[in-house]
């Protein structure tokens, strides 16, 4: 395979990186603390922790897991909270104790959380109390033996933290009642950890750092096994690309995307940590007016987001009043950046919106556009250093430049496989080390790529994967539904949305009943926005419902 992109790399970007620059994430964090210790690392609700303070508190959490709970290496520790100071403390503490982190979306329903916890075999969960009632529904059916409950005001100064917790619980009433077994508050956990020695483990690069859940090639959520070496490699790849445009120890990045999402985890938390930058944590990015107010408080230099977040900001009347003089990099990922949004962003901020591409299975970054390129091209960029992308036809042969084919990826950031799913792993990872993405792309003569279609029938809502079979499985359980098919439709707010086609066996089933039923079992962004009732659905000669035909019909109808 000819790496044609290397001849057209931006100046200063190397062809290769060292994936073993650090033996593990804790080793990288020790390096960061040694270099940037007193500098601010994470800010939340107007309060800041330095790198040294995060290291100290993370050490206490690691000591609790290792010394108090006596957890063996590889124990899965689930984290279920938004962007709060407790997140990096528990993240780095768990990794330092030799545990594997399982990131959980706080918006999960009880069914979704139960599946993930049980599939991962998580023995510990750290959860914000606002969502503890969800865990309470299913705790006894999981392997969780220890629950650490976090409050919004934890790790803030005592008076400020107490006031925030009081408002959250008693004024805004954001904490539904719950009863949990084996529960300990985070401050108690840290106090207990302080009585034990901080573990000094030598963690190998091939040990698992994360089980990052994704739908993969089907609608069944599965854990992508990301090793410490995978993560270190991807951080070094991203640093090689963006590093020449940043100043170490002086960057301020707005972290509105949740850190439990692999894009924000790598790009914001880990990459900007290595650069000695400050992460301004946004606990509720849906509060656009609140986010704009926070932007006005900081001379931020970097911003990451998904297309829907950029669009929402641009439609806020106060956003144009933000000071963009210090902004160096705005990075879009998780979903395709729309041309209208990119062009409006450039006109408003004076800085380009740089699109990148990645997958959970690749830790996640695969390609990125040149940081200084101002015009929007619709490309997802060139492969990162030490990354190979092969465009292949259905027979597995290399496609010529400009010809569409499935994208295959090889590099040190590619996962070794899915957790306890050898059959699914074999479907996507070949003997040659290339990962099948299921995405159909075109590579030009300079190595720039465009996504033209997806073999996967995944629906991408605001950067989050929604799988048709998962939606269909929820809908079909409603009495009165005979058949259902779910497809993607364009949506101005979320990029894509879910539409379902339903054949009823009971004519009294309504759209409202279907939507309400889905809300009981699916996270909000997975709930269908549109419902169309039909007498029959198109099927193949073996009776398989043809989603592709439904999509084609929908496209023709919209084009008419």
Q: What CATH number did the domain enclosing 508 receive?
A: 3.30.300.30
Domain count, the chain: 3
Can you give the CATH number for the domain in which 171 is found? 3.40.50.980
pTM for the complete prediction?
0.88
Q: Nearest Cα to 238, choosing from 216, 210, 205, 263?
A: 263
Domain termination site, one of 435, 454, 473 = 454
Instruction: Give the three-class secondary structure for 317.
Output: coil
Q: Nearest Cα to 183, choosing from 240, 245, 129?
A: 129
* Residue 537: inside a domain: yes
Same structural domain, 478 and 504: yes
Same structural domain, 425 and 509: no
Q: Nearest Cα to 66, choosing from 155, 146, 180?
A: 146
Same structural domain, 195 and 95: yes
Q: How far is 363 from 263, CA to CA, in rounded Å?
A: 8
Upstream peptide bond of 364 is cis (omega within 30 degrees of 0)? yes
Same structural domain, 160 and 60: yes
- Contact status, residue 324 vs residue 352, Cβ threshold 8 Å: no
Same structural domain, 513 and 549: yes
* Residue 3: inside a domain: no
Same structural domain, 428 and 476: no
Per residue of the chain (560 residues), give pLDDT as tens: 789 999 999 999 999 999 999 999 999 999 999 999 999 999 999 999 999 999 999 999 999 999 999 999 999 999 999 999 999 999 999 999 999 999 999 989 999 999 999 999 999 999 999 999 999 999 999 999 999 999 999 999 999 999 999 999 999 999 999 999 999 999 999 999 999 999 999 999 999 999 999 864 445 689 999 999 999 999 999 999 999 999 999 999 999 999 999 999 999 999 999 999 999 999 999 899 999 999 999 999 999 998 889 989 999 999 999 999 999 999 998 877 888 889 999 999 999 999 999 999 999 999 999 999 999 998 999 999 999 999 999 889 999 989 988 999 999 999 999 999 999 999 999 999 999 998 889 999 999 999 886 666 778 899 887 888 789 889 998 999 988 999 999 998 899 999 999 999 899 999 999 999 999 989 999 999 999 999 999 976 555 788 889 988 998 988 87
Phi-psi region of 458 (alpha: psi -120 to 50; beta: other; left: phi over 0): beta
Can you give the CATH number for the domain in which 391 is found? 2.30.38.10
What residues does 439 pair with on adjacent strands?
454
Which structural domain, as residue segments, surrounds residue 191? 48-203
Domain termination site, one of 436, 454, 472 = 454
Same structural domain, 76 and 179: yes
- Residues in the chain, overall count: 560
Same structural domain, 69 and 147: yes
Strand pairing report for 449-454 and 481-491: unpaired
Strand pairing report for 405-410 and 435-443: antiparallel
* Residue 79: inside a domain: yes
What residues does 499 pair with on adjacent strands?
487, 530
What residues does 76 pair with on adjacent strands?
100
Q: Nearest Cα to 185, choosing from 144, 155, 159?
A: 155
Same structural domain, 438 and 496: no
Same structural domain, 389 and 494: no
- Contact status, residue 457 vs residue 468, Cβ threshold 8 Å: yes
Residue with tokens 């991408």: 460
Domain termination site, one of 187, 203, 219 = 203
Same structural domain, 427 and 541: no
DSSP string across 280-310: EE-S-TT-HHHHHHHHHHS---EEEE-HHHH
Per-residue pLDDT tens over the stretch 152-210: 999 999 999 999 999 999 999 999 999 999 999 999 999 999 999 999 999 999 999 99
> In this structure, is the dihedral angle defined by the CA atoms of residues 132, 137, 142 and 143, taken in order, positive or negative?
positive
- Contact status, residue 280 vs residue 294, Cβ threshold 8 Å: yes
Residues 6+ apart with CB under 8 A from 252: 277, 278, 280, 298, 299, 300, 301, 302, 326
């Amino acid at each position: 395979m000819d790496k044609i992109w290397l001849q057209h790399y931006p100046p200063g970007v190397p062809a290769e990186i060292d994936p073993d620059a650090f033996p593990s994430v804790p080793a990288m964090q020790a390096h960061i603390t040694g270099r940037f210790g007193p500098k601010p690392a994470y800010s939340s609700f107007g309060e800041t922790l330095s790198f040294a303070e995060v290291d100290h508190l993370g050490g206490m959490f690691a000591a609790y897991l290792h010394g108090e709970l006596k957890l063996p290496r590889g124990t899965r520790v689930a984290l279920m909270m938004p962007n709060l100071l407790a997140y990096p403390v528990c993240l780095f503490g768990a990794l330092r104790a030799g545990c594997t982190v399982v990131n959980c979306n706080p918006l999960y329903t009880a069914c979704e959380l139960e599946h993930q916890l049980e599939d991962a075999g998580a023995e510990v969960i750290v959860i914000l109390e606002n969502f503890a009632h969800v865990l309470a529904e299913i705790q006894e059916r999981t392997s969780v033996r220890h629950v650490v409950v976090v409050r919004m005001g934890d790790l803030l100064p005592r008076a400020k933290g107490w006031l925030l917790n009081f408002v959250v619980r008693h004024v805004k009433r954001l904490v539904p009642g719950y009863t949990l077994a084996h529960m300990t508050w985070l401050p108690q956990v840290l106090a207990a950890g302080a009585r034990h020695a901080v573990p000094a483990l030598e963690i190998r690069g091939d040990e698992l750092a994360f089980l990052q859940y994704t739908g993969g090639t089907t609608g069944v959520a599965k854990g992508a096994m990301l090793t410490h070496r995978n993560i270190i490699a991807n951080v070094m790849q991203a640093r090689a690309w963006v590093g020449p445009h940043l100043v170490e120890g002086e960057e301020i990045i707005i972290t509105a995307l949740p850190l439990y999402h692999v894009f924000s985890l790598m790009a914001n938390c880990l990459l900007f940590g290595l650069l000695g930058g400050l992460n301004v944590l946004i606990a509720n990015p849906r509060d656009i007016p609140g986010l704009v107010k926070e932007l006005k408080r900081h001379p931020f230099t970097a911003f990451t987001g998904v297309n829907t977040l950029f669009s929402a900001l641009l439609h806020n009347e106060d956003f144009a009043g933000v000071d963009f003089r210090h902004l160096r990099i705005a990075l879009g990922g998780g979903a395709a950046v729309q041309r209208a949004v990119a062009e409006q962003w450039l006109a408003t901020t004076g800085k380009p919106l740089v699109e990148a591409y990645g997958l959970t299975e690749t830790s996640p970054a695969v390609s990125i556009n040149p940081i200084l390129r101002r015009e929007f091209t619709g490309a997802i960029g060139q492969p990162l250093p030490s990354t190979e992308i092969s465009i292949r036809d259905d027979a597995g042969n290399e496609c010529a430049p400009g010809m569409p084919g499935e994208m295959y990826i090889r590099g040190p950031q590619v996962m070794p496989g899915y957790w306890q799913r050898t059959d699914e792993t074999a479907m996507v990872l070949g003997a040659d080390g290339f990962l099948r993405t299921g995405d159909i792309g075109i590579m030009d003569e300079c190595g720039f790529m465009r996504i033209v279609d997806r073999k996967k029938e995944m629906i991408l809502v605001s950067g989050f994967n929604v799988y048709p079979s998962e939606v269909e499985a929820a809908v079909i359980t409603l009495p009165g539904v005979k058949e259902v098919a779910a497809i993607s439709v364009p949506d101005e707010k979320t990029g894509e949305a879910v539409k379902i086609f339903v054949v009823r066996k009971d004519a009294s089933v309504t759209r409202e009943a279907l939507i309400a039923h889905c809300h009981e079992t699916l996270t909000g962004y997975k709930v269908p926005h549109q419902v169309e009732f039909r007498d029959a659905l198109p099927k193949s000669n073996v009776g398989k419902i043809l989603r592709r035909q439904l999509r084609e019909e929908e496209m023709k109808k919209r084009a008419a």
